[in-house]
Structure 1
Amino acid sequence: MKKYRYRQSNSDHTLFIKKRVGKITCLIIYVDDMIITGDDTEEMSELRKNLFNVFEMKDLGQLKYFLGIEVLRSKKGIFINQRKYILDLLAEVGMLDCKPADTPMVQNHGLQMTKEAKPADRGSYQRLVGKLIYLSHTRPDIAYAVGVVSQFMHAPQEEHWETTIRIVRYLKGTVDHGLLFEKHGHLEISGFTDADWAGNPNDRRSTAGVLYLRRRESCDIEKQEAEGGSTV
């Protein structure tokens, strides 16, 4: 990739980036699977040709499934979710027929380490929480709850395990949820942040969250309203 003048990302060494005439091409690789994307169609075509000359490869067309993430396309944009990943997780923990929970975590949970509390199986706990952490990539609605239970990976207790199981029960009722990247024709981004300010009962640390949204410009809203659509 460096031979083709791509720059290796410092934050993720499996990601390679090339900028050319105001456009960008990205390649990310995992073992023997890779994704090529960007807005430079000429460069992407050239990259495929160069890689085919060096490696035995097969072009599978538009991305549909990658590392447990399903990719669906429509006129509205690109929708990604991990439906199969969730169903496999439910089957693994024997909860395919469980009763769904309305929320991933109760309010004011006060979860902490308790003296003389019954310990949970650390291996099972770490495996389950690890899978939930990966699932958070397409399910930001569980990100806070997963962030809380991941604080007890070193010595989980029964209460922590039950809280984690509630997240799984919530997933049972929201299997089809995911992220929709809508088409807007621009990349205007707004950021929001919040924190509970010293909410951790053990060390008085704060739990913070950040959310970035792409905003629609007024012309997009006016156009949609003229076409009889609705805005959110």
Structure 2
Amino acid sequence: MSRLSDFPITQKWPPKDPDVIQLYSLPTPNGVKISIALEELELPYEAHRVSFGTDDQMSPEFLSLNPNNKIPAIIDPHGPEDTPVGLFESGAILLYLAEKTGRLIPNDPIGRYETIQWVMFQMGGVGPMFGQFGHFYKYAADKVANNPYPVERYKKEVRRLLGVLEGRLRDRKFIMGEDYSAYSIADIALFPWVRGLSVGYDAEDVLRVSDFKAVTAWVERCSDRPASVKGFSVPAEV
């Protein structure tokens, strides 16, 4: 596709400025990864709210960009060789934005792959397991009221994963290092999910998140960044 208007999704969410990145999202842990990254990178973008309440994610227009009907997704009108590119999967989008700008990821090959490793840790472990815990603990609690197995299973796994993060962060401020410049897409991929245990699932006490002191300090450090504060509420409610 050579123009933004060639993407069918733009028929449902017409861009106000077709020259900037178009973000299709909601302020969920996966969604805010991208708004936070865009804010950190100071890339101009336009956010479109994909309402689950009206099944926007199942519309033909949205499915034309993401056949997996999940947020977030983006279109960059200035992709490689200045050709528009559409992307879904938050981990892939984070990697794309980092490589597009040369920021939020180390330049050396070893550091780059180590960062990608932690992004994959979030995509394959933290996201799915935290999400399953939240589903059974909060959103489907009535369905498992007489069966503690699902909550206990995922509670145990969430605490195991928090322990992995605690080990990584015990002697560093960010996933990839100690100083301010070490902040990376690995942090952006991970910390919204840990934050969501309390902010989204109200499960901070039952999970005893305070046991993981390095993790809780890191989440606070990441959450206080101006880009995070702004990104948490993107897209805004309409």
| TM superposition score category, shorter chain reference | under 0.3
Give the TM-score, by structure 1 length: 0.23
Larger helix percent: 2
Larger strand percent: 1
Give the TM-score, by structure 2 length: 0.23
Q: Which has the higher contact order (CA 8 A, sep 6+)?
A: 2
- Please tell me whether Structure 1 or Structure 2 has the larger radius of gyration of its CA atoms: 1
